[in-house]
Amino acid sequence: MSKKLYVGNLSYDTTETQIRDLFAGVGEVASVTLITDRETGRAKGFGFVEMNSDEHAQDAIKRFNGYQLDNRALTVNEARPREERSGGGGGGGSYGGGNNRSNNRY
């Protein structure tokens, strides 16, 4: 069974090919996805690597968490499932004052 890993603290210049080649050193890589800003297309400095086995994923965490790539220490750990976003926009509420008129009644 494959295991998805979070890879953070990437240089904005790091490529998917570099990450694939690096992680292939511990086992078969199913996929590599670097996250980019939707509007600008610029890299956000993190991504995900899917390894083909749990064993290879654990080896990759041990080997590459703290590993120096492009003068940056990588953060590598198991990816957490994406949290569901509630539909319908931001919610109200004033936390600690702000400019909410209902807090300023006489």
How far is the C-alpha of 106 from the C-alpha of 96, rounded, in Å? 18
User: 53-100, pLDDT tens digit by residue?
Assistant: 999 999 999 999 999 999 999 999 999 987 776 665 555 555 555 555
Residue spans of the domains in the chain: they are 3-78
Split at pLDDT 50, 70, 90, the class of 8 is: very high
Domain 3-78 maps to which CATH number in 2.40.50.140, 3.40.50.880, 1.10.486.10, 3.30.70.330? 3.30.70.330
Please, are residues 43 and 15 in contact by the beta-carbon 8 Å criterion?
A: no
Give CA torsion, residues 45, 7, 41, 20, to 10 deg: 120
Distance of CA 2 to CAs 37, 75, 79, 84, 94, Å? 26, 19, 12, 22, 43
16: Cβ–Cβ under 8 A, 6 or more apart, which residues?
A: 32, 33, 34, 47
Higher model confidence: residue 11 or residue 94?
A: 11
Q: What is the pTM of this model?
A: 0.76
Amino acid at 32: V
